[in-house]
Amino acid sequence: MAPTKCRAACLWGFIFSLLLSGCIPEAQREGGKLYAAKCSSCHRLLPPADHSLDKFGAYIEKYGKGLTAEEKGKIMDFLKAVKELK
């Protein structure tokens, strides 16, 4: 498997393991599902550790034109929860 494909597969596995393991509070799990579904529809998922929340917020505003304000908020809440796991 090519390194890029392997990294993408690992990232998907990481996100779904967080959602299923209970590491992410119930309130933020929907944001994780939205992040996985909506953001990966156009590009590979970006690892939360690789970017600041400000950068993610800018990406979501720039590229998330089809997302509602509520969906954007849920995605950001999920990303914050992932960042707090460190």
Q: Which tops the pLDDT comparison, 52 or 86?
A: 52
Residue 51, classed as helix, strand or coil, is coil
Closest listed residue to residue 74, CA positions, set 27, 13, 37, 41: 27
Write out pLDDT tens, residues 28-85. Answer: 889 988 998 898 888 888 888 889 999 999 999 999 999 999 999 999 999 998 888 7
pTM: 0.75
d(CA 51, CA 69): 21
